[in-house]
Structure 1
Amino acid sequence: MTHPVLPLHPGKHALPAIPDPADHARHVRSRAPGATLADHDGAVLVYQDRVLAHAVANYGGRRTDWVRGNLRLLERRGRRLAVCGGFGLGAPAAALVLEQLIALGIRRVVTVGTAASLHASLAPGSLVVCTRALRDDGLSHHYLPPAPYAEPSPELTRHLTGALAARGADTRQGSGWTTSAIYRETAPEVARYGALGALTADMEAAGVFAVAEHRGIDAAAVLAIADSLADRRPRRDHPRTETTLHTAVEAALAALTTAARE
């Protein structure tokens, strides 16, 4: 038997889909006429409940049920932005909510999550701006033609890097490895992808980049190191990781505003 590759149907990325995220937007507007995110500079996706709670406590925002999860619409320095969390982990969960946000008008997104380090030099709490993501997930192949990497928006990534630098964050830039199987990461993979220059292992970046490229919007990603696959530091709640995640959210909001002004 020939070993299957993803997607099982060749050329799927170029075919129209039966479900349309616009249907979701129409459903939302049947309950909330005038619901739109087209007047917002962008959205930040977060994955940890405490990070979302911190954002709500610091930036406020009105909660809506327009998308899956907890979507907060806020004003920051006279600009409209959104923060969304509580929708789960992994590329499928992130893609679902991102499709819904795009259908409602979002044109820029920054994903702020955690990752495992592939290099012992990256300590817990270090921030990595992802410049491209190895597509070892199960989702990106349904959105883009076959290729090793999914790419973020260069412009939004530049704004994100600048916003982090302005806040004095300990930040590196580099590629990452996105996988859908966090309990099946192996030593040969860590060695191989680390040798290729990948700094991190995460579950969402490649999927977010793929959806964004497919839909023609801008996306960027920043990841806080929570544990290590290089010298196997088991995951724990390191206070520096949570602190840098808060900094990353603040920088992401600033980057979205700066990008929208260009």
Structure 2
Amino acid sequence: MNHEPYPILEFDPDSSAFVDPQDLLKPIDIARRCILCFFQDILEEGQANGQLKAVYKLGSEIGRNMVYEMTVEGERIAVLHPGVGAPLAGAFLEELIALGCRDFIACGGCGVLDKSIGLGHVVVPATAVRDEGTSYHYLPPSREVAAHPDAVQAIEQALQKHHVPYIIGKTWTTDGVYRETPTRIARRREEGCHVVEMEA
């Protein structure tokens, strides 16, 4: 690990950690595929109509987060609200991996920087400007990060199959929801960001 003037830039490629979710949690009978759903109202509706069944409780300092399962076209799918912000979402993601989930997709809301994008329009983030801290513990420092092209293509194909309008865009991912200043917003727009969120 290199010594840098700012600790956030000191990427350590060694993934072994003092506290490892693999040591805390053992694999369970859980779906391989998982949706990280940031829409609490959707989860509540799924519970109320019996579509979602609670299968596990993940814990944090804010209490318990339920892991649910549902069946879609005969396939089990795990579903979790991963909290708000990358640190909690990242911790829950690691715990889901320890439990046995392997394939993930996230679905959530965002703020719009491109005013031509209407409320509720689907934006598939192909790239993200990294203005948060969590990702720097998983990837070497860089200004931007790109989603895997195969993942973007698979999402596009699913949206097209179901005739859902969408755009492929760039997101600004940040930890500072109340630090989205006019100057920062202008700069992110200049960089081509369409939206802003906290977990990409």
Note whether the superposition's TM-score is higher than 0.5. Answer: yes
Taking the TM superposition and a 5 Å limit, the aligned residue runs for 1:46-195 are 46-57=37-48, 60-68=51-59, 69-85=65-81, 87-195=82-190
In 1: Cα distance, 2:36 partner to 2:173 partner? 16
**Aligned pairs for 1:165-244 within 5 A:** 165-205=160-200
The structure whose residues are more often strand, as a share, is: 2
Q: Report the TM-score, using the length of structure 2 for normalisation.
A: 0.86
* 1:173–1:58 Cα change, 3 Å: farther
CA RMSD, 1 decimal:
2.1
1:258 is matched with none
Residue-pair matches, total: 192
**DSSP 3-state at the match of 1:106:** coil
1:151-209 superposed Cα distances (whole Å, 9 cap, x missing partner): 3232222111211222222211011000001111011221211121111100001xxxx
Aligned to 1:229: none
Equivalent-residue separation in structure 1 for 2:149 and 2:128 (angstroms): 13
Give CA-to-partner distance per residue, 1:76-131, whole Å, 9 cap, x none: 1111111111x420001110110011112222111111111111111111110010
Q: 1:54 to 1:157 in 2, by over 3 A?
A: farther
Quick one: percent identity of the two aligned structures?
Answer: 31
**Secondary structure in 2 matching 1:7:** helix
Partner of 1:232: none
CA shift for structure 1 position 135: 1.0
Q: With CA pairs under 8 Å and 6+ residues apart, which has the higher RCO, 1 or 2? A: 1
Task: Look up the match of 1:7.
Answer: 8
The structure that is helix-richer by fraction is: 1
Q: In the alignment, residue 190 of structure 1 is paired with which amino acid? A: I
Residue 36 of structure 1 pairs with residue 22 of structure 2: no
Shift in alpha-carbon separation, 1:15–1:112, aligned structure 2, 3 A: closer
**1:21 aligned partner:** 21
Matched AA of 2:89: A
Name the amino acid aligned to 2:72. R
Q: Structure 1: which amino acid aligns with 2:122?
A: L
